[in-house]
């Protein structure tokens, strides 16, 4: 018989699942605090897949993605193990804040240490007790507060296993990004664990399309890793496109923004993205796209200071091809027409 999976001293037998509560630093009210880990240990051997959400405390789409993933019936035939942590940054989640109470960013605090700051201790605990037990990882994020992200995978595609996961996830866009120091992705990579980051939607909001694409992406990746049987897809796959580079267009002056472009839209160099003006419209300044590409991120708050990031544009070898895929994606993920068996009542 296959061996049990052991996490923080709890053993989970093959074919079983368990919630393990890992103790983290107390609240200052002296109440104990825990981080919940949901383990599903398949009867048959296979990869150990980490699903992490809410490393940034206000990025909540990942919680709903993990909830939907863990409740899908085909997981009864799981090969390997799922280690799901819907809320990594419990403190930030309670405060509805990206940061920990020490005002540090958990995703800039890896690998951390036992004797470090609160963020450093949380990072160290998560890395040593949970991440180190896994063979692969999908880290679920959204845009920061007052920003929105078009569903995208961020990955270093030179790494073959990372590339395989990134392609399998089947998001409409892959951004080939170098790994920033202090991130979970960096520390996991140093441990030899391939991790992709899924970015979609806004902070503190559920976004049905982002969630739906996330659930499908996790399942496609699991099928690619042979954790689930491959199924014949009735619809055509959305081939993700790898961006050559991406950059932010910033506010040329402070003022009130009237955005004329939305997420997922193709823009040409010289296109009008929006207009910044003073409240009475005495002074207006057009924001012109400096490049051709697809809008993969944007601000959602129209009150902007000079230099603020407004539109995130990804550049592709051939934007024309990409836009067809983006349109396919939008059609495929539309809750009104999507009738796949995994569908749940959509969140509006």
Interface residues with Zn ion (CB under 5 A)? 56, 59, 141
Radius of gyration of the chain (CA): 21
From CA 153, how far away is CA 173, in angstroms rounded?
Answer: 6
Is the distance from CB of 322 to CB of 294 less than 8 angstroms? yes
Nearer to Zn ion, 59 or 207 (CB): 59
Nearer to Zn ion, 199 or 332 (CB): 199
Nearer to Zn ion, 58 or 208 (CB): 58
CB of 55 to Zn ion, least distance (A): 6
CB of 318 to Zn ion, least distance (A): 29
Nearer to Zn ion, 58 or 332 (CB): 58
CB of 20 to Zn ion, least distance (A): 24
CA angle 248, 193, 64 (to 5 degrees): 65
CB atoms within 10 A of CB 306: 11
Nearer to Zn ion, 10 or 300 (CB): 300
CB of 56 to Zn ion, least distance (A): 4
CA angle 155, 326, 158 (to 5 degrees): 20
Maximum separation of any 2 CA atoms in the chain, in Å: 76
Closest residue to bound Zn ion by CB: 141
Per the listing, tokens 């796949």 go with: 340
CB of 140 to Zn ion, least distance (A): 9
What phi, psi does 17 have (nearest 5°)?
-130, 155
Nearer to Zn ion, 54 or 125 (CB): 54
Nearer to Zn ion, 198 or 311 (CB): 198
CB of 205 to Zn ion, least distance (A): 14
Is the distance from CB of 196 to CB of 163 less than 8 angstroms? no
CB of 88 to Zn ion, least distance (A): 11
Nearer to Zn ion, 41 or 141 (CB): 141
Closest CA to 252 of 273, 269, 266: 273
Strand stretches in the chain, DSSP E: 5-7, 10-12, 16-24, 33-41, 44-53, 79-85, 136-141, 147-155, 173-176, 195-202, 241-243, 245-250, 255-259, 266-267, 272-277, 284-288, 293-299, 303-304, 309-315
CB of 87 to Zn ion, least distance (A): 13
From CA 126, how far away is CA 86, in angstroms rounded?
Answer: 13
């Amino acid at each position: 018989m296959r061996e049990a999976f052991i996490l923080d001293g709890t053993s989970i037998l093959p074919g079983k699942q368990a919630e393990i509560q890992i103790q983290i630093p107390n609240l200052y009210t002296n109440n104990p605090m825990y981080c919940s880990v949901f383990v599903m240990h398949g009867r048959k051997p296979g990869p150990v897949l980490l699903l992490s959400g809410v490393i940034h405390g206000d990025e909540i789409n990942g919680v709903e993605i993990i909830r939907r993933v863990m409740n899908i019936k085909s997981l009864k035939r799981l090969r390997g193990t799922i280690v799901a942590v819907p809320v990594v940054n419990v403190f930030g989640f309670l405060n509805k804040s990206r940061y920990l109470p020490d005002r540090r960013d958990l995703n800039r605090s890896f690998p951390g240490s036992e004797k470090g700051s609160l963020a450093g201790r949380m990072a160290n605990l998560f890395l040593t007790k949970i991440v180190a037990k896994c063979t692969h990882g999908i880290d679920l994020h959204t845009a920061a507060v007052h920003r929105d992200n078009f569903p995208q995978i961020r990955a270093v595609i030179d790494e073959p296993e990372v590339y395989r996961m990134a392609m399998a996830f089947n998001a409409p866009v892959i951004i080939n990004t170098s790994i920033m120091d202090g991130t979970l992705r960096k520390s996991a990579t140093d441990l030899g664990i391939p991790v992709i980051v899924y970015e979609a939607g806004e902070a503190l909001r559920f976004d049905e399309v982002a969630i739906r694409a996330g659930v499908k992406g996790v399942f496609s990746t699991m099928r690619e890793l042979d954790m689930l049987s491959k199924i014949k897809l009735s619809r055509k796959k959305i081939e993700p496109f790898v961006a050559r580079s991406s950059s932010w267009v910033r506010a040329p002056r402070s003022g009130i923004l009237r955005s004329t472009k939305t997420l997922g839209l193709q823009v040409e160099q010289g296109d009008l993205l929006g207009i910044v003006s003073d409240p009475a419209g005495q002074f207006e300044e057009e924001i012109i796209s400096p490049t051709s590409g697809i809008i993969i991120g944007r601000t959602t708050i129209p009150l902007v200071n000079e230099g603020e990031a407004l539109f995130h544009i990804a550049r592709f070898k051939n934007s024309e091809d990409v836009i067809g895929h983006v349109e396919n994606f939008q059609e495929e993920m539309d809750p009104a027409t999507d009738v796949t068996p995994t569908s749940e009542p959509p969140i509006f």
